[in-house]
Amino acid sequence: FVFAGNEKEPQVLNVAHRGASAYAPEHTIPSYKLGDRMKGDYIEIDLQMTKDGHLIAMHDETLDRTTNGTGQVKDHTLAQIKELDAGSWFNETYPQYAKKKYAGLKVPTLDEVLAHFGSDKKYYIETKAPEVYPSMEEELLRILDKHGLTTKEKLENKNVLVQSFSQASLLKMYHLNPDVPLVQLFWYDTPGSITDGELEAVKRYAIGVGPNFQRIDREYVQQVRKHGLEIHPYTVNEKADMEKLIEWGVTGMFTNHPDRLHEVLRGK
Ligand code: G3P
Ligand code: CA
């Protein structure tokens, strides 16, 4: 089965989760650069929205964990967020990977990330907390459009995949532009299963699903594949798990260690 890349060789997509976030502060330009250098096929970007309507790359709805600020993103303007240090927390938490240059890093906007890496790179973008940010899908499309990522060629080439746990957000994206490839995320706290009916419903708007890998099994993967959908589990950091999932037939996965996944794929 061919999803992307070399037409002759089946490919398992290597998604650099928050960049190469095992080695650099997540959702910063150095983390994304490292993900690219470590042969990630996609840069994964979580989106939050500032008080004044800018989409920024950040996982949490609050500033506390990944910056020296506090409080909700939605209560801060971009100018206020640009004052913050998005790298020192990483140096303190992971001294083995600390680098002086990480101290004082800024939170990037989506616009800045796309300007930095250009329209030939591939981006796997998540609408986070869309119920908190009612217009984030429109703004996302506006920014993608601005960077030439919504042309027929770029959409067919899957230069952008949009993912969300929120079906409502994906349906909104679908209605705004049905050609943007979408991935429905799932989180299971008990062993995951998915019915034919659920998969047919997903297939109406999305090209694939993304479950947490710990709760799925071979049967789940094959059930998804039987419906012709992609399956990109998250977040897979150990080589033994990567190998197991590839053997089950996944078509990609999210990892904080794109270098490890590259080694696993190259070794095959
Ligand atoms: O987007 C896939 C995976 O990243 C979902 O979990 O919490 O890391 O965004 P999270
Ligand atoms: Ca994510």
CA distances from 131 to 9, 49, 135 (A): 40, 11, 9
* Residue 234 within any structural domain of the chain: yes
Which amino acid, 241?
D
What's residue 267's pLDDT? 86
DSSP assignment of 232-266, as one string? --B---SHHHHHHHHHHT-SEEEES-HHHHHHHHH
CB 256 within 8 A of CB 35: no
**Beta-carbon neighbour count of residue 87 at 10 Å?**
27
CB 27 within 8 A of CB 108: yes
pLDDT < 70 regions, the chain: 1-10, 268
- Whole-complex ipTM: 0.98
Taking CA atoms only, the protein residue closest to ligand 1 atom 5 is 234
Task: Clarify whether 257 is annotated catalytic.
Answer: no
CATH number at residue 192: 3.20.20.190
Give me the number of domains the chain comprises.
1
* Residue 32 within any structural domain of the chain: yes
CA–centroid distance, 226 to ligand 2, in Å, is 25
CA–centroid distance, 257 to ligand 2, in Å, is 15
CA 39 to chain CA mean position, Å:
15
Which amino acid, 167?
Q
- Whether residue 48 has its Cβ less than 6 Å from ligand 1: no
* Residue 2 within any structural domain of the chain: no
Strands (E), the chain: 13-16, 42-49, 55-57, 123-127, 160-164, 182-186, 208-211, 230-231, 252-255
Q: What is the DSSP letter of 214?
A: G
Task: Clarify whether 17 is annotated catalytic.
Answer: yes
Pairing verdict, β 55-57 and 123-127: unpaired
* Residue 92 within any structural domain of the chain: yes
Which domain covers residue 213, as residue numbers? 13-266
CB 11 within 8 A of CB 1: no
- Whether residue 210 has its Cβ less than 6 Å from ligand 1: yes
Measured at the alpha carbon of residue 200, what is the angle toward residues 199 and 204, in degrees to the nearest 5? 115
- Among 59, 76, 147, 257, which one carries the catalytic annotation? 59
CA–centroid distance, 44 to ligand 1, in Å, is 9
Q: pLDDT, tens digit, for every residue of 108-159?
A: 999 999 999 999 999 999 999 999 998 999 999 999 999 999 999 999 999 9
* Residue 6 within any structural domain of the chain: no
The backbone region for 104, taken as left when phi is positive above 0, alpha when psi lies in -120 to 50, beta otherwise, is left
CA 143 to chain CA mean position, Å:
17
* Residue 188 within any structural domain of the chain: yes
* Residue 5 within any structural domain of the chain: no
Query: What number does the ligand 1 atom closest to the CA of 59 have?
Result: 9
* Residue 7 within any structural domain of the chain: no
Pairing verdict, β 182-186 and 123-127: unpaired
